[in-house]
């Protein structure tokens, strides 16, 4: 009787040991198998057991390289975050100077990061890509003063931007249509700023960005005691998105000489049920670099008649009928100089 239970004990112990070993084997096998599987899943991007063999191995390597480059790109994007809603570089109102001995070489050396008229912040992704369009005529000194102030101003606003300048027979509106169309050949800008050459912004809180509605940036200028010229004034400097400007069919092409085209644009904006917004009068301040109106740029006596037909004419007189010939596009260090033949006024009546 005493032999029996001890034998029984030994057998039971052996069984336990056997079971224990079996369990360990199973666990180890499961562990290897599942490791294998996850590795493959990462490299293949699939669990399919079919694509093995020599070719499959090469493909696995290729795909793992691709995965790596995707990871690198994701890291790069994470490193270059969107620029903050308010740029930390803004300085508010600044004293402007207009030194008659200023040269283009000086302004170029002050703006080493501008390449062919274009700038992109290096440490963050700009919130908007903005094309600044400056029509001018025989006013290279004004253009120089404006470039001198505008480049650092726009860089403090952390914008991706380019400056386009055009010199042609005086038709501000048509030149701005041309500027819009030509700038879009370069890239798909979000926002367009239509900018007189003789107005220099005084406060960098006046953001050169577009909003839900077309924006007028010149509430006041030193030459008018910083008061709005008249209710509804939409000239000087204004901002419209690519879509807003397309929606109103751009500016009219038929305004030759001085005046009227900015009122026409305001009418077009209102016809599309958009409204014009303005920054505060504390911020939207400009200095007008004094000049006499140049000869060949006489008051447009036709403007009242033209404005009366805008509600009809906007559909056919604008971006969709803007014909011109590009004579040259010169990418200077600080601006893109577009020279075009925009034709001559049709003598209607």
Ligand X SMILES: *[C@@H]1O[C@H](CO)[C@@H](O)[C@H](O)[C@H]1NC(C)=O
Cite the active site residues.
196, 198, 258, 261-262, 288, 291, 293
Which of 44, 60, 98, 116 forms a contact with ligand X (CB under 6 A)?
A: 98
> Taking contact as CB under 6 A, which single stretch among the options 126-134, 202-210, 259-267, 285-293 is the one that binds ligand X?
285-293
Q: Write each residue from 294 to 333 as x if it is in contact with ligand X (CB under 6 A), else as -, in one continuous string.
A: ----------------------------------x-x---
When asked if residue 213 is in the footprint of ligand X (CB under 6 A), the reply is: no
> Taking contact as CB under 6 A, which single stretch among the options 52-60, 117-125, 274-282, 288-296 is the one that binds ligand X?
288-296
Q: What is the DSSP string of 286-318?
A: EEE---PPPTT--B-TTHHHHHHTHHHHTTTSS
Q: What is the C-alpha separation between 314 and 207, in angstroms, rounded?
A: 29
Which of 140, 212, 294, 341 forms a contact with ligand X (CB under 6 A)?
A: 140
Q: What is the C-alpha separation between 63 and 165, in angstroms, rounded?
A: 48
* Alpha helices in the chain, H assignment, sequence order: 3-44, 53-79, 104-110, 140-156, 172-186, 242-247, 261-271, 303-308, 310-313
Type and span of the H or E element at 257: none
When asked if residue 339 is in the footprint of ligand X (CB under 6 A), the reply is: yes
Which of 129, 169, 222, 272 forms a contact with ligand X (CB under 6 A)?
A: 222
CB of 151 to ligand X, least distance (A): 15
Q: What is the C-alpha separation between 290 and 222, in angstroms, rounded?
A: 10
Q: Which residues contact 209 (CB under 8 A, 6 or more apart)?
A: 127, 128, 130, 157, 159, 191, 239
Specify the residue, 61 or 341, whose C-beta has the smaller distance to ligand X. 341
Specify the residue, 94 or 124, whose C-beta has the smaller distance to ligand X. 94
Write b or e for each residue in 261-280: b if 16 or more Cβ atoms lie within 10 A of its Cβ, otherwise e: bbbbbbbbbbeeebebebbe
Specify the residue, 287 or 321, whose C-beta has the smaller distance to ligand X. 287
Specify the residue, 39 or 140, whose C-beta has the smaller distance to ligand X. 140
Radius of gyration in angstroms for the set of CA atoms belonging to the chain, rounded to a whole number:
34
Which of 223, 282, 297, 321 forms a contact with ligand X (CB under 6 A)?
A: 223
When asked if residue 138 is in the footprint of ligand X (CB under 6 A), the reply is: no
- Residues making contact with ligand X (CB under 6 A): 98, 140, 143, 167, 222-223, 287-290, 328, 330, 337, 339
């Amino acid at each position: 009787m005493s032999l029996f239970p001890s034998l029984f004990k030994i057998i039971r112990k052996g069984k336990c040991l056997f079971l224990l070993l079996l369990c360990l084997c199973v666990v180890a096998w499961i562990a290897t198998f599942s490791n294998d599987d996850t590795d493959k899943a990462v490299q293949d991007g699939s669990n399919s057991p079919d694509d093995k063999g020599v070719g499959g191995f090469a493909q696995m390597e290729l795909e793992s390289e691709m995965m790596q480059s995707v990871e690198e790109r994701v890291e790069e994007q994470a490193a270059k975050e969107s620029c903050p809603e308010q740029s930390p570089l803004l300085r508010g109102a600044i004293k402007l100077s207009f030194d008659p001995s200023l040269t283009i070489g000086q302004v170029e050396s002050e703006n080493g990061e501008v390449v062919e008229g274009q700038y992109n912040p290096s440490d963050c992704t700009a919130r908007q890509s903005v094309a600044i369009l400056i029509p001018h005529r025989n006013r290279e000194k004004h253009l120089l003063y404006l470039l001198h102030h505008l480049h650092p101003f726009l860089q403090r606003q952390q914008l991706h931007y380019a400056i386009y300048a055009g010199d042609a027979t005086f038709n501000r509106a048509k030149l701005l249509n041309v500027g819009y169309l030509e700038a879009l050949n370069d890239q798909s800008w979000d926002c367009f700023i239509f900018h007189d050459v003789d107005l220099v912004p005084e406060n960098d809180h006046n953001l050169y960005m577009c909003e839900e509605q077309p924006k007028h940036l010149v509430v006041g200028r030193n030459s008018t005691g910083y008061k709005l010229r008249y209710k509804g004034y939409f000239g000087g400097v204004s901002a419209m998105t690519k879509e807003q400007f397309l929606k109103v069919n751009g500016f009219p092409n038929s305004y030759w000489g001085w005046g009227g085209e900015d009122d026409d644009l305001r009418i077009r904006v209102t016809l599309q049920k958009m409204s014009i917004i303005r920054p505060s009068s504390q911020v939207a301040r400009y200095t007008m670099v004094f000049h006499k109106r140049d000869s060949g740029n006489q008051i447009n006596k036709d403007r009242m008649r033209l404005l009366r037909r805008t509600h009809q004419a906007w559909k056919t007189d604008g971006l969709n009928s803007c014909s011109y010939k590009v004579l040259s596009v010169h990418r200077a260090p600080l601006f893109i100089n577009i020279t075009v033949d925009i034709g001559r006024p049709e003598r209607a009546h």
